[in-house]
Structure 1
Amino acid sequence: MNDLPTPRPRRRTVLSGAFALGAGAVLGTALPGSAWAAATPVISGCAAWGSRPPSAPVKLLATAPHKIIVHHTATPNSTDYSQAHAFALSRSIQDSHMDEKGWIDSGQHFTISRGGWITEGRHSSAAALAGGTQQVESAHCTGQNTVAVGIENEGTYSTVDPLSAQYAKLVDLCAYICAQYGLRAYQIFGHRDFNNTECPGDRLYAMLPQLRADVAARIGGSPSWSGWPVARLGDTGERVRSLQHLLNSRGSTLTADGSFGPATESAVRAFQTTNRAGVDGVAGNQTWHQLSAPLGRGAAGDAVKALQVQLNARGQALVVDGSFGSGTEAGVRAFQTSAALPVDGVADARTWSRLLA
C-alpha cells in the first residue's frame, strides 16, 4: 500500500452529538438543524460480533480519509437476514483475511450484511469515525489504504442488485462518513476505480451515481463526477507534462517534457503494477485515481508542479516551483469558480479531473 504524499486538508463541519460506546456497539444521533438530517446508523463493534484480537497493533493515522470505496464480498447472496448471520459473516471475513491473506485483522473498515446490519471490520474503525479526525490504516484497496474508508457489502453483485435494506444502510453509512469527515458525495467510488478487479460487481458499480445522489440529498452539494481523460503513447501537451510530474511524485525520474514516449509508458506500467491496476501503459481511470492526491496550502513537491502546470494551461501564470502558496491557492480558487466547483482552494479529485479534461 502506498501513502499519498500530501494529506488532504480537512473540510469537516464539526457536528456535536453523543456516542454511546457499549456492548461493542456504536450509536450516533444527529441533532436537529445539522447539515445531515437523517439518524446515524448503528454499527456493531468488533466485541459485539466476537472478533479475534488483531495479530499486531492496529495503526491509527493522524489524518482523515478523503474518499469512500465500496466493495462487495463476492460471497453467496444469502437469504439469512438475521443479525446472527451478519456477525458470523464478520467472523468469517476476519478469519479469511488473517489466516489466508496474512493480514493483521479484517481488511475493511465496515461491513453491511444483506439484512442491513452494519458491523465494524478492522478494530477501532468505529471509534475513529466517531471522532471524525482520524482513520485506521486498512487493507481493502491497494494504494488507498491510508486515505479511504472501505465498506464491504455482503453478496455478489455482478448480475443482481443489492437488497433494498442493504442499499438503504449503505446510503446511511456513506452519508454519516461524509458528515463526520467533511467529504462530499462525489468522493464515493468503487474498488474497480483503483485496482484491476470486478469488485463491487457490475450492478452495484452501476448504482454508484445513484448512491452519490442519495447521499447528496442527505448532506447537500452536487453528486456529479465527470471522470478522467486518457493519455497514451504518442500524446503531447500539458496533460502529459502533469502526468509526468505526478509519476515523479511517486518515485519515477521522468523529464517532464510533455511528450508521452517509451519512458513515460514504462513508468505508467510500473506504477500500475505497484498499485494493482490494469497494466496497459495507458493513463486512464485507475491510474489517474491512484495518482491524484488532494493538495492544499502548504503542500510541496512534484504533485504541486503537476497542478501548477494545469493551472497555467488554463491561462494562469504561476511559477512551476512545486510550492503550494497563496498564488497557487488563488489559482485553484479561480479555476473552481470558473468550473462551477466548490470554491475552497483545495485540489481534490473532482478539481483534478476537470483540470485534466
Structure 2
Amino acid sequence: MDGARLTRRGVLAAGLAVGTASLLPGPERADRFVRTGAEGPPLTEGAPAPYIVNCPSWGARRPSSPVKIWDRRPIRILVHHTATPNVGDQSRGAGDRLARAIQNYHMNHNGWLDSGQHFTISRGGVVLEGRSLSLGVLNEGRRQVEGAHCTGQNVVAIGIENEGTYTGVDPTPALWNSLRATCAYICSRYGIAPTELYGHRDYKNTACPGDRLYRMLPRLRAEVGATLGRRVSRTEAEKASWPLLRLGDSGPDVTAAQYLLRDAGATTTEPTGRFDEGTADAVRTFQVAHRAEDVNGILGGESWPELARTVSRGPGRNGGDAWRAVDTLAEHRRVESVPDRVTAPTWQRLLGTGGTAVRPVTDPPGTARR
C-alpha cells in the first residue's frame, strides 16, 4: 500500500504442469497442516523453519468462501509494506492485532474471502500466517494457496506484508531478521532461487514496498542465499527493474517518459523534465487506454513495459518521440553505442535500472483477485 492511502491491501491507521486448483474448506482444516518452527526441526535442510503464528492462534475469522489451492509451486516471493504507522509496540499482541485489522479490511472493505497476503511480519518481527491454509501448504512444499496481494502474481508468487511505511526509514532489525528467515524457509520449501525476491512495484504502479525497503532487496537476496548456503553475487542480486516516477520527480528519466507518453498519444505537451500534474494526467490517460489495474498517475512496473515500446532507429513511427527518449537517456548516461532496435532490456539499462533479467511469468488465465 502506498503512503497513507488505503488501497486493495490497506489496513486500519490444466493438470499439474500448468497448475490446477482445488477448493478446501476453511480454517477447520488448517490444523491438519500447520506446524510451526517451535514444534520440531525444519522440514528440509538449509533453512530452519521460523516460528509462524497460524490463523487460529491470532484469532482469524473463517474465510467467507473456500480457499483455492493450486497444484503447482510458486516461483517467486513479493515483498510488500502495509504503509501504516511505524509503531513502537513490537509485542506479540501488536502482531495479532495487525493481522486481524488486515483481515477485517480485506474482507469487509475489499470484499475478499480472506486476507490477501500469505504471510505478515510485524514491526517486532512476529511472523503470522495471513491467508488461511498458507502455512500448512507451505510446509507441505508442493502446492500454492491463491492469494490476493498482486494481480497477475497471486498464484506464481508468495506475498509477504511487512508492517510499517518504508519510504524514508529502514525496517526494524527484528522485522528484517524475520523477513530474511521467512524468505529463506519459503525458498527452501518450494525450491525458489534466493534471487527471485521482488518488490510489489516491480509488477504494479505503486510505491510499495517503500523506497528504502525496495533498495534493500539486493541485500535481502544475498542474505537469503547465505542462509541457504548459496553465494549470490552482486550481479545476481541486482535485478532489472523500472524506475518509479511520480509527482515532484524531475530529470532525464521524466523527460524520456514524457516523450514516450507523447509517442503513445497520451499528451501533446512538450517535455519539460518535471513530473507535474499534467504529466500525471497523461500517465492516467495512458493507464486507462491500457487497462491498468491502478489508474493513479504513478509510472511503475505495470505501465513501463507497455510505454517503453520496442523502437527502431528511423523516421516516423519507428523513431520520432520514442527515439528522442532514447537519445535523451543515452546522452545523460553517456552511452556511446545504442542498438538500432531498442527493446525492454536496453530501455532498462538506459534508465539506469538494468540488472539480471526478470522472469516474466504470470498467473494462469482466469485467476482472479479475491
How far residue 22 of structure 1 moved from its aligned partner, in angstroms, is 8.1
SS in 2 for 1:68: strand
Match of 1:254 in 2: none
Counterpart CA distance in 1 for 2:289 and 2:63 is 30
Does the C-alpha gap of structure 1 residues 101 and 215 become closer, same or farther in structure 2, counting only changes over 3 Å? same
Match of 2:328 in 1: none
Match of 1:26 in 2: 36
2:166 counterpart (157, 180, 196):
157
Does the C-alpha gap of structure 1 residues 162 and 226 become closer, same or farther in structure 2, counting only changes over 3 Å? closer
Summarize deviations over 1:321-342 as a string: whole Å, max 9, x none. xxxxxxxxxxxxxxxxxxxx9x
> Contact between 1:59 and 1:137, CA under 8 Å: does it hold in 2?
yes
Match of 2:134 in 1: 125
**1:225 and 2:238 correspond:** yes
Count of aligned positions: 257
SS in 2 for 1:59: strand
**1:114 and 2:114 correspond:** no
> Contact between 1:157 and 1:203, CA under 8 Å: does it hold in 2?
yes
Moved over 6 A (4+): 5-10, 229-235, 277-280
Map 1:1-357 onto structure 2 (within 5 A).
Answer: 26-27=36-37, 29-30=41-42, 34=45, 36=46, 38-219=47-228, 220-222=230-232, 223-228=236-241, 273-276=291-294, 285-286=301-302, 349=358
> Contact between 1:139 and 1:145, CA under 8 Å: does it hold in 2?
yes
Does the C-alpha gap of structure 1 residues 26 and 229 become closer, same or farther in structure 2, counting only changes over 3 Å? closer
> Contact between 2:33 and 2:136, CA under 8 Å: does it hold in 1?
no
> Contact between 2:205 and 2:301, CA under 8 Å: does it hold in 1?
no
Counterpart CA distance in 2 for 1:7 and 1:271 is 36
Counterpart CA distance in 2 for 1:113 and 1:289 is 33
SS in 1 for 2:214: helix
Counterpart CA distance in 1 for 2:259 and 2:359 is 26
TM (normalized to structure 2)? 0.59
Amino acid at match of 2:41: T
> Contact between 1:160 and 1:203, CA under 8 Å: does it hold in 2?
yes
Amino acid at match of 2:205: N
Gaps of 5+ in 2: 1-7, 9-13, 20-29, 244-255, 266-285, 307-355, 362-370
Among all aligned residue pairs of Structure 1 and Structure 2, give the percentage whose two residues are the same amino acid. 44
SS in 2 for 1:115: coil
SS in 1 for 2:198: strand
Gaps of 5+ in 1: 11-19, 236-259, 263-267, 291-340, 342-347, 353-357
SS in 1 for 2:237: coil
Match of 2:341 in 1: none
Summarize deviations over 1:40-65 as a string: whole Å, max 9, x none. 20111100001000011111111111
How far residue 287 of structure 1 moved from its aligned partner, in angstroms, is 5.2
The root-mean-square deviation of aligned C-alpha atoms, in Å, is 4.0
Amino acid at match of 1:206: R
Match of 1:253 in 2: none
How far residue 273 of structure 1 moved from its aligned partner, in angstroms, is 2.9
How far residue 80 of structure 1 moved from its aligned partner, in angstroms, is 1.1
SS in 2 for 1:106: coil
> Contact between 1:50 and 1:87, CA under 8 Å: does it hold in 2?
yes
> Contact between 1:73 and 1:152, CA under 8 Å: does it hold in 2?
yes
How far residue 74 of structure 1 moved from its aligned partner, in angstroms, is 1.0
Amino acid at match of 2:36: V
Counterpart CA distance in 2 for 1:179 and 1:163 is 24
TM (normalized to structure 1)? 0.61
Summarize deviations over 1:72-101 as a string: whole Å, max 9, x none. 111111111111111111111100111111
Does the C-alpha gap of structure 1 residues 195 and 351 become closer, same or farther in structure 2, counting only changes over 3 Å? closer
Amino acid at match of 2:85: P
How far residue 177 of structure 1 moved from its aligned partner, in angstroms, is 0.6
> Contact between 2:114 and 2:131, CA under 8 Å: does it hold in 1?
yes
Does the C-alpha gap of structure 1 residues 234 and 95 become closer, same or farther in structure 2, counting only changes over 3 Å? closer
Does the C-alpha gap of structure 1 residues 6 and 285 become closer, same or farther in structure 2, counting only changes over 3 Å? farther
Does the C-alpha gap of structure 1 residues 90 and 234 become closer, same or farther in structure 2, counting only changes over 3 Å? closer
Counterpart CA distance in 2 for 1:88 and 1:229 is 35
Counterpart CA distance in 2 for 1:276 and 1:285 is 11
How far residue 185 of structure 1 moved from its aligned partner, in angstroms, is 1.4
Counterpart CA distance in 2 for 1:147 and 1:233 is 33
SS in 1 for 2:188: helix
Summarize deviations over 1:215-269 as a string: whole Å, max 9, x none. 111221534234158999999xxxxxxxxxxxxxxxxxxxxxxxx988xxxxx95
Does the C-alpha gap of structure 1 residues 44 and 63 become closer, same or farther in structure 2, counting only changes over 3 Å? same
Does the C-alpha gap of structure 1 residues 209 and 51 become closer, same or farther in structure 2, counting only changes over 3 Å? same
Counterpart CA distance in 2 for 1:277 and 1:188 is 25
